[in-house]
Amino acid sequence: MALPPLNDTITAIATAPGTGAIGVIRLSGPDSFAIATQLFKPKNKQVLRPGKVYYGAICDNEGIIDEAIVLSFKAPHSYTAQDVIELQTHGGPAVLRRVLELSQSHGARLAKPGEFTLRAFVNGRIDLVQAESVLEMVNAQSESARRNAAHGLSKSLSEQLHLIQTDITRVYGNLQAVFDYPEEGVPESEYQTPLNRALTRIDQLLSTAKAGQIAQKGARLALVGKPNAGKSSLLNALLGYQRSIVSNIPGTTRDYLEAPLTLKGIPITAIDTAGIRETEDLIEASGVTAAKDIAAHADLSLYLLDASQEPTPEDFEVIASLEPSRSLLVLSKADLPQVWTQSFNRPLYKVSATKGEGLEELKTAISEKLIGDASSSELWLSSERHAQALKQTRDLIEQALSAPDDLASLDLEEALRALAEITGRGDIAEETLEHIFANFCVGK
């Protein structure tokens, strides 16, 4: 599959399917104004000029289709850097479909997913990081994802990449000069310093990759522990409503259940699981197997220890199987006297689900565990593609630092290429572009 042509005029419905107060149909390309003139009649018979807003009606041969507001943008001052027309009609599916058909009958081609943004990229109005941030913004379900997309759109990631690129380019230039004047050599300060600075910047960005992924995709949070530990009660307390059945009979929850919640701006799927114990009951046993599996794969597991019950060897065994970086120990039923004193050499977060105590501290601990140091960083790396390219750049710089000049020069050349793939300002493979833009919706 090749990239679509860039110089014809495309059209699409830009608003979400379904009914809405307003719907928007977009046109981009050289015939946008001509097509708009054929289907739109401004109230005072004005001629469409760039940068203006018009009120009037959209008509076909048989008469008025709907009232409309029209926004006009002349190249290069538009989203795509081409001539663009936006037709705002009432947001009914029949109206929008009819206007779309009319645009096509006057010569516009139906746009492919992301084609407007692709044109903005190819025409140099935005770089690839910004294009991907558009997609991230459209898909943002949480405050942290929105915030991160806004940073990408405002070019702060592109600026960071530019600083890294400048340092590598400087060293690369110095090495080239040495080939011409070998007796001069490259001083330490003109070689090690900029490359190490680039490495520090890359590491800083890479340290936010996990947080960025979580902001975008959400995190899976498992609640695990023995029967009656208070898992379902804690889930309900975190959610603020009764989602899971609670009872004093051990083994109440036999299957797992998932519930969405937002915690400190992070989208989370909380998973209540069956209490872990040896059991003859086949159904319960399969719930226990699922619980262990969920804990092993979750981004974070909360292991609950009942304050009113002595921990058993089984508790110690499960806790030992949990990675400390991906688990928290919770002392549940903290309103009851704690009957034990054993230490697990890890912090214990005291929570009472029935009294609602300790929940804020637990939420803070969850968010810190998931987002970590990245919470102090403004910008997070949220794309796997960017992280891969940065890791590659990092490896090549490391390689250059320990290589002789001629090989170092080749490494840095390749590092610059890997970096340019992120912003798309180098030789970017068509497949990469197709892959990125295929994830967009039509009309964006």
User: By the criterion CB under 6 A, which residues form the site for ligand GTP?
Assistant: 225, 227-233, 246-248, 250-253, 274-275, 332-333, 335-336, 352-354
Min dist CB 270 to Mg ion, Å, is 13
DSSP lists the bridge partners of residue 302 as 223, 328
Helix (H), strand (E) at residue 360: helix 359-371
If binding is defined by CB under 5 A, does position 257 make contact with Mg ion? no
- Find out whether 23 and 15 touch, Cβ atoms under 8 Å: yes
Min dist CB 418 to Mg ion, Å, is 49
Work out what residue 335 binds among Mg ion, ligand GTP, none; the CB cut-off runs from 5 to 8 Å by kind: ligand GTP
Give just the sign of the alpha carbon dihedral 177, 183, 186, 187: negative
Min dist CB 279 to Mg ion, Å, is 14
Q: What is the Cα–Cα distance from 413 to 422, expressed in whole angstroms?
A: 15
Work out what residue 227 binds among Mg ion, ligand GTP, none; the CB cut-off runs from 5 to 8 Å by kind: ligand GTP
If binding is defined by CB under 5 A, does position 233 make contact with Mg ion? no
* Residue number, 202 or 362, with CB nearest to ligand GTP: 362
Work out what residue 230 binds among ligand GTP, Mg ion, none; the CB cut-off runs from 5 to 8 Å by kind: ligand GTP
If binding is defined by CB under 5 A, does position 165 make contact with Mg ion? no
* Chain residue at closest Cβ approach to ligand GTP: 275
Q: Which residues contact 240 (CB under 8 A, 6 or more apart)?
A: none
* Residue number, 12 or 222, with CB nearest to Mg ion: 222
Work out what residue 158 binds among ligand GTP, Mg ion, none; the CB cut-off runs from 5 to 8 Å by kind: none
Binding residue for Mg ion, selected from 252, 269, 286, 392, defined by CB under 5 A: 252
Min dist CB 334 to Mg ion, Å, is 18
Q: Which contacts qualify for 145-148: CB closer than 8 Å, 24 or more apart?
A: 145/215, 145/216, 145/267, 145/382, 147/215, 147/265, 148/212, 148/215, 148/216, 148/379, 148/380, 148/382
Q: Which contacts qualify for 182-188: CB closer than 8 Å, 24 or more apart?
A: 186/405
Give the angle subtended at the CA of 340 by the CAs of 336 and 344, to the nearest 5°. 115
Min dist CB 365 to ligand GTP, Å, is 17
Cβ count near 312 (within 10 Å): 12
Q: What is the Cα–Cα distance from 347 to 291, expressed in whole angstroms?
A: 23
* Residue number, 231 or 444, with CB nearest to Mg ion: 231
If binding is defined by CB under 5 A, does position 258 make contact with Mg ion? no
Three-class SS of residue 55?
Answer: strand
Q: What is the Cα–Cα distance from 33 to 170, expressed in whole angstroms?
A: 46
Sheet containing 40-42: order of strands: 40-42, 53-60, 63-73, 84-91, 20-28, 10-13, 109-110
If binding is defined by CB under 5 A, does position 393 make contact with Mg ion? no
Work out what residue 32 binds among Mg ion, ligand GTP, none; the CB cut-off runs from 5 to 8 Å by kind: none
Only segment of 107-115, 250-258, 283-291, 319-327 that touches Mg ion (CB under 5 A): 250-258
If binding is defined by CB under 5 A, does position 253 make contact with Mg ion? yes
The residue ranges that bind Mg ion (CB under 5 A) are 231-232, 252-253
